[in-house]
Amino acid sequence: MKQAQSRSLSALFQIGGLILAFGFVTIILLLVDADPIEAFRLIWQGAVGNSSRIASVLVVWVPLALVTCGVLVTFTAGLWNIGIEGQITLGAIFTTGVIRLFLDTPVSPVFVIILSILAGMVGGAIWAALAGVLKVFGGVNEIFGGLGLNFIATALNIGLIFGAWSRPGVASMSGTEPFPEIYWLPTFQNFRFSWYSILLSVIGLVVIYFLLQGTHFGLRLKAVGKGIKSAFRLGIPTWQHMMLSFLICGLFAGLAGALQVVAVYHRLIPAISSGYGFMGLMIAMLINYQAIWVAPIALFFAALNIGGIQLPIVMKLDSTLSGVLQGSLVLFILLMQGVKQRVLGKQ
Amino acid sequence: MNIGFKQVNKHFGEVHANADITLNIQSGHIFGILGENGAGKSTLMKILSGFIQPDTGEILLGGHEVKIESPADAIKFGIGMLHQDPLDFPPMRVIDNFIAGQSGSLMLSQKAAMKDFRELQTQFGFSLDPEAYVDTLTVGERQQLEILRLLWLGAQILILDEPTTGISIQQKEKLFAALRVLAEQGKTIIFVSHKLEDVEILCDKVAILRKGYLVGEVAPPYDIDQLVEMMFGKQITLKDPTPLGQETVVFQLQDIVVEQYPLVIENVTFSLHAGEVIGLAGMEGSGQDMLLRACVGLLRPVSGRVIVNGNDLTGKNYLKFMENGVAFLPASRLEEGLVPGLTLAEHFTLVTDQKEQLFIDKAYFRQKSQQMIDDYRIIGRPETPVESLSGGNQQRAALSMLKDDLSIILLEHPTRGLDIESAIYMWDKLKERCRNGTSIFFISADLDEILRYSDRILVFFSGHVSKPLDAATTSLEQLGQLIGGKGWDRTFSNEESYETSTKP
């Protein structure tokens, strides 16, 4: 009885946060003289208006879901893996590198694609491990270490695109030379999404769900995250678990980066991580670190992203409005959680 | 300014920290407040300095009732408190610390402040460099800085909470001289301590608190035995009839040196026998927690060796000690003991001995935790988060999570905050393990507990460690004096006295 009551109260606060977020964005729209109803309608239409738009949403959903899975692991261990963006980028770089190695060889493209994806995962894991080493052995807070590594990853990426891997003749912001189609992950009919990417994301979701909910390893991570001193005293090797959480997160980020290369852009582009890492952190906070919610909320965020594209075309509004909506959603729902705790605490 | 407490009461949960305290303190005096840990000294002083508010009762300053609602308020009334741990800003310079806290002008006049600082410090014979950074100062120097700062802010009443912990003899003499000067100037000095000798040579009058109550006030000349009796109360000590110590040595410390600012413990050599219970007595912060942590690899000794069951584990971490049958139950249960946010069942899953499968067999661990809950009479369910258990139940839970075949258990304040029934239960369970050959090393602030359950006792005072005392021939009075730093010469005649050794 009591539990049901607190659960419905909790839902009430969540909905309150949702309403506040939409209210906040409405105010912003009114301030710039735009019709809020029209804007929300456009976002909705832009996301689900036709099948190719839905396909685009799925294209965004794949990396978002993967990255969110990854950061759930580091969050569980009590770590803020801000370096996730760099880990995605490194995944993309490693994948591109492997494909380039085999471009003019007779090696089977299927094998090359699989190998390149695995390489991407390793790349992400290496970058995450660096943040982990800095944290565990260097005493550098993972937030600062991660930020620094993000800058290095971006610089490395740009350096490759304009330098060693630049297009023959002219280096360009549009990225490296696209790969021949045999190295593309096959897409569904003429749509932009690939069943293979979707499948990999779903596998990722299932793995993370069971890892965090049902395994001894997941429980130990949780203990490290909630009370590192107590966990150590109970006999858990704490730094090893922190390192492992970084590595797992890096694998997921690297996979997301790899899929951006082999399934979406078919080349390395400067903004290959597309801010999905930060968005994944937001989603993880929004869902209060519960793995079961990753898939639907990532889908919602992806829809907002794709829907927002219509705004500049029709209403001459900047498409970053979706970002404002996403950000305010997270802020207001977190805010309402705080309010809820205060209210309940006072009783 | 005269200070008056009138029927001051303060509760923390079920603990009655100050019970109907009525006390008058005259200006121009050095007034001592004496009591063991948890007697309510700090609570009373925190009330006077505005950190906490009394539940009921009045505070009178110069005969008028005042409400002191914050430390800033206190300073306005001329009350300055010198805390046990200096509340300063280590990365800043001495002079910046001196100025910080000044209210009024927006612009800081550093020149004027510097002049005041120099004048004040020559008055007391201090020699602090105003440009030095505070983190390069010793505890004694930081104290001097804090005294100067409080006086500069206009303090008429100075409260010093355990000021002689961790400072050198010379600094102590300087401090006492300064306090005497201040008293002559008509300021009121309140000196909070558990050290009998300090109180004896310094204070014009002493009030003794015990378990929240004011036991009495005493004027010099002091009778140390009387003070000890007032501090600890006279009680009959129950003895465990059968000492359980066996001959096998399970644990050895060889010439251990441990250092943790500001204390240094030097050259401790000690052997623990199977089934033996050793109590570590001493006022809080006398070094017993450092030694205990050094024994389990949580604090790395500067030198010396730690040997467990014949294996040299010096410098190894706690997990290695665990593998060798050592377990540690810390005092801060929710910080170092149990993981807040996890349930009892999850805890039992974490500490399982079972060969692990990938997935958790939730039904099995639910059943196992239910069984432990029944065995240890924990009030809670497998799905209860540990932080919502009461202190006694948390302690039972922590105890139930220890492995069965341990050779040594180290405990910090095993029964602190527990009701009597839980405390007795705790020791029944521990003694049961002793009969099976497990040795116990424990810290307690409760001298009764130490005398009742220990076979031998180590006494700590300001980082000095005594030779083991036989608990059967030690009286409560004797132990009370020893932890207050008295009577070491008498008891350990062949040992170097702490009074002759100086520390930096």
- Structure-derived torsion over alpha carbons of residues A174, A176, A178, A183, reported in degrees to the nearest 10: -140
Q: What is the mean pLDDT of residues B271-276?
A: 87
**What DSSP string runs through B100-168?**
TT--S-SS--HHHHHHHHHHHHHHHT----TTSBGGGS-HHHHHHHHHHHHHHTT-SEEEEESTTTT--
CA distance B337 to B333: 4
Which of B318, B339, B356, B364 should be substituted to probe chain A, the one whose Cβ sees the most A Cβ atoms within 10 Å? B339
Q: State the first-to-last Cα distance of chain A, in angstroms, to the nearest integer.
A: 17
Instruction: Look at residue B406 and tell me whether its pLDDT is greater than 80.
Output: yes
Rounded alpha-carbon distances, angstroms, from residue B496 to A340, B88, B438, B456, B502: 61, 36, 33, 20, 12
Instruction: Look at residue B386 and tell me whether its pLDDT is greater than 60.
Output: yes
DSSP reduced 3-state for B283: coil
Closest partner residue to A235 (CB to CB) among B322, B357, B360 is B322
Least confident among A268-277, B269-278, B346-355: B346-355
Instruction: Look at residue A310 and tell me whether its pLDDT is greater than 60.
Output: yes
Q: For residue A229, list chain B residues with Cβ-Cβ distance below 8 A.
A: 335-336
Closest partner residue to B337 (CB to CB) among A230, A235, A236 is A230
Least confident among B204-208, B246-250, B383-387, B445-449: B246-250
Q: For residue A227, list chain B residues with Cβ-Cβ distance below 8 A.
A: 334-335, 338-342
Q: With an 8 Å Cβ cutoff, is B337 touching chain A?
A: yes
Q: Per the CB < 8 Å rule, is B336 touching A229?
A: yes
Closest partner residue to A233 (CB to CB) among B330, B340, B360 is B330
Instruction: Look at residue B273 and tell me whether its pLDDT is greater than 90.
Output: no
DSSP reduced 3-state for B451: helix
Q: For residue A214, list chain B residues with Cβ-Cβ distance below 8 A.
A: 359-360, 362
Q: For residue B335, list chain A residues with Cβ-Cβ distance below 8 A.
A: 227, 229-230
Q: For residue B319, list chain A residues with Cβ-Cβ distance below 8 A.
A: 232, 235, 237
Chain A, chain B: beta-carbon pairs less than 8 Å apart = 67
Per-residue pLDDT, A258:
96
Q: What is the mean pLDDT of residues B314-334?
A: 88
Which of A212, A220, A221, A233 should be substituted to probe chain B, the one whose Cβ sees the most B Cβ atoms within 10 Å? A233
Closest partner residue to A234 (CB to CB) among B340, B351, B358 is B351
Interstrand relation of B3-12 and B188-193 (parallel, antiparallel or unpaired): unpaired
Instruction: Look at residue A131 and tell me whether its pLDDT is greater than 50.
Output: yes
In contact, B369 and B345? CB cutoff 8 Å? yes
Q: With an 8 Å Cβ cutoff, is B386 touching chain A?
A: no
Q: With an 8 Å Cβ cutoff, is B330 touching chain A?
A: yes
Is residue A268 very low, low, confident or very high in pLDDT (cuts 50, 70, 90)?
Answer: very high
Task: Specify the CATH architecture of the domain B235-325+404-504.
Answer: 3-Layer(aba) Sandwich (3.40)
Instruction: Look at residue B499 and tell me whether its pLDDT is greater than 50.
Output: no
CA distance B281 to B469: 11
Strand partners, B10: B18
Per-residue pLDDT, A248:
97
Nearest CA in chain B to A238: B319
Q: Per the CB < 8 Å rule, is B401 touching A232?
A: no
| pTM reported for the whole predicted model | 0.75
Q: What is the mean pLDDT of residues A59-67?
A: 95
Q: For residue B336, list chain A residues with Cβ-Cβ distance below 8 A.
A: 229-230, 233
Per-residue pLDDT, A158:
93
Q: What is the mean pLDDT of residues A46-57?
A: 89
CA distance B350 to B425: 25
**Assigned token pair, B324:** 């060798």
Q: Per the CB < 8 Å rule, is B339 touching A223?
A: yes
Please calculate the CA angle A327-A329-A332 and round it to the nearest 5 degrees.
Answer: 105
Over the stretch A174-223, which tens digit does the pLDDT of each residue have? 888 899 988 998 888 777 888 999 999 999 999 999 999 989 999 999 99
Per-residue pLDDT, B234:
59
Closest partner residue to B360 (CB to CB) among A219, A230, A236 is A219
Q: What is the mean pLDDT of residues A33-56?
A: 88
Instruction: Look at residue B496 and tell me whether its pLDDT is greater than 70.
Output: no
Q: What is the mean pLDDT of residues B145-150?
A: 88
The C-alpha of B399 sits at a distance from chain A's nearest C-alpha, in angstroms, of 12
Q: Per the CB < 8 Å rule, is A223 touching B340?
A: no
Instruction: Look at residue A284 and tell me whether its pLDDT is greater than 60.
Output: yes
Nearest to A131 by CA among A288, A234, A30, A253: A253
Instruction: Look at residue A132 and tell me whether its pLDDT is greater than 80.
Output: yes
> Residue B319: is it exposed, middle or buried by C-beta count within 10 angstroms (0-12/13-18/19+)?
middle
Q: For residue B357, list chain A residues with Cβ-Cβ distance below 8 A.
A: 216
Q: How many CB atoms lie within 10 A of CB B240?
A: 16
Per-residue pLDDT, B495:
46
Per-residue pLDDT, A3:
59
Give yes or no for a cis peptide into A63 (omega within 30° of 0). Answer: no
Q: For residue A241, list chain B residues with Cβ-Cβ distance below 8 A.
A: none
The C-alpha of A55 sits at a distance from chain B's nearest C-alpha, in angstroms, of 36
Is residue B239 very low, low, confident or very high in pLDDT (cuts 50, 70, 90)?
Answer: very low
Is residue B355 very low, low, confident or very high in pLDDT (cuts 50, 70, 90)?
Answer: low
Q: Give the phi and the psi of residue A72 in degrees, each rounded to 5.
A: -60, -35
The C-alpha of B402 sits at a distance from chain A's nearest C-alpha, in angstroms, of 9
Interstrand relation of B205-210 and B79-82 (parallel, antiparallel or unpaired): unpaired
DSSP reduced 3-state for B388: helix
Instruction: Look at residue A347 and tell me whether its pLDDT is greater than 90.
Output: no
Per-residue pLDDT, A163:
87
Q: For residue A216, list chain B residues with Cβ-Cβ distance below 8 A.
A: 349, 356-360
Give the position of tokens 């300095």: B49
- List CB contacts of B301: < 8 A, sequence separation 6 or more: B256, B257, B258, B294, B314, B315
Per-residue pLDDT, B237:
43
Instruction: Look at residue B489 and tell me whether its pLDDT is greater than 80.
Output: no
- The whole-angstrom distance between residue B470's C-alpha and the CA centroid of its chain comes to 24
Give yes or no for a cis peptide into A270 (omega within 30° of 0). Answer: no
Closest partner residue to B360 (CB to CB) among A215, A223, A229 is A215
Q: What is the mean pLDDT of residues A64-86?
A: 96
> Residue A319: is it exposed, middle or buried by C-beta count within 10 angstroms (0-12/13-18/19+)?
middle
Per-residue pLDDT, A58:
93
A217-256: burial string, b at 16+ Cβ within 10 Å, e else: bbbbbbbbbbbbbbbbbbbbebeebbbbbbbbbbbbbbbb
Q: For residue B401, list chain A residues with Cβ-Cβ distance below 8 A.
A: 234
Over the stretch B56-79, which tens digit does the pLDDT of each residue have? 999 999 888 998 888 888 888 999
Q: With an 8 Å Cβ cutoff, is B319 touching chain A?
A: yes
Over the stretch B408-417, which tens digit does the pLDDT of each residue have? 999 998 887 6
Nearest CA in chain B to A220: B350
**Which is it for the CA torsion B105, B107, B112, B117, positive or negative?**
positive
Per-residue pLDDT, A2:
54
Average pLDDT, chain A: 90
Q: Per the CB < 8 Å rule, is B337 touching A233?
A: yes
Q: With an 8 Å Cβ cutoff, is B381 touching chain A?
A: no
Per-residue pLDDT, A32:
84
Same CATH topology for B3-232 and B235-325+404-504: the answer is yes
Q: How many CB atoms lie within 10 A of CB A9?
A: 13
Per-residue pLDDT, A85:
96
Longest dimension (CA), chain B: 74
Per-residue pLDDT, B500:
39
Question: Which residues of chain A have a Cβ shorter than 8 Å from any chain B Cβ?
Answer: 210, 214-217, 219-220, 222-223, 226-227, 229-237
Q: What is the mean pLDDT of residues B136-146?
A: 82
Q: Per the CB < 8 Å rule, is A216 touching B356?
A: yes
**Which is it for the CA torsion A159, A162, A164, A165, positive or negative?**
positive
Rounded alpha-carbon distances, angstroms, from residue B302 to A12, A137, B234, B267: 57, 21, 40, 10
For chain B, give every domain's residue range. 3-232, 235-325+404-504, 343-402
Q: With an 8 Å Cβ cutoff, is B350 touching chain A?
A: yes
Strand partners, B25: B3
Q: For residue A219, list chain B residues with Cβ-Cβ distance below 8 A.
A: 342, 346, 349-350, 360
- List CB contacts of A155: < 8 A, sequence separation 6 or more: none
In contact, B173 and B183? CB cutoff 8 Å? no
Q: Give the phi and the psi of residue A4 in degrees, each rounded to 5.
A: -60, -40
Is residue A66 very low, low, confident or very high in pLDDT (cuts 50, 70, 90)?
Answer: very high
Q: Per the CB < 8 Å rule, is A227 touching B341?
A: yes
In contact, B430 and B400? CB cutoff 8 Å? no
Per-residue pLDDT, B104:
59
- Work out the percent of chain B whose per-residue pLDDT is above 90: 16
Over the stretch B86-103, which tens digit does the pLDDT of each residue have? 767 777 888 888 887 676
**What DSSP string runs through A275-313?**
THHHHHHHHHHHTTT-GGGHHHHHHHHHHHHHHHTHHHH
Is residue B501 very low, low, confident or very high in pLDDT (cuts 50, 70, 90)?
Answer: very low
The residue with greater pLDDT, B495 or A224, is A224
Q: What is the DSSP letter of B437?
A: T
Per-residue pLDDT, B497:
42
Closest partner residue to B359 (CB to CB) among A214, A223, A226 is A214
Domain B3-232: homologous superfamily in CATH: P-loop containing nucleotide triphosphate hydrolases (3.40.50.300)
Q: What is the ipTM of this complex?
A: 0.84
Instruction: Look at residue B16 and tell me whether its pLDDT is greater than 90.
Output: no
Closest partner residue to B335 (CB to CB) among A210, A219, A230 is A230
**What DSSP string runs through B201-254?**
HH-SEEEEEETTEEEEEE-SSP-HHHHHHHHH---PPP--SS----S-EEEEEE
DSSP reduced 3-state for B11: strand
The C-alpha of B442 sits at a distance from chain A's nearest C-alpha, in angstroms, of 17
The C-alpha of A105 sits at a distance from chain B's nearest C-alpha, in angstroms, of 41
The C-alpha of B398 sits at a distance from chain A's nearest C-alpha, in angstroms, of 9
Q: At what angle do helices A321-346 and A294-308 cross, to 10 degrees?
A: 140
CA distance B500 to B504: 13
Q: Per the CB < 8 Å rule, is B340 touching A216?
A: no
CA distance A81 to B229: 58
Q: Per the CB < 8 Å rule, is A227 touching B340?
A: yes
In the chain, the amino acid numbered B455 is: D
**Which is it for the CA torsion B127, B131, B132, B134, positive or negative?**
positive
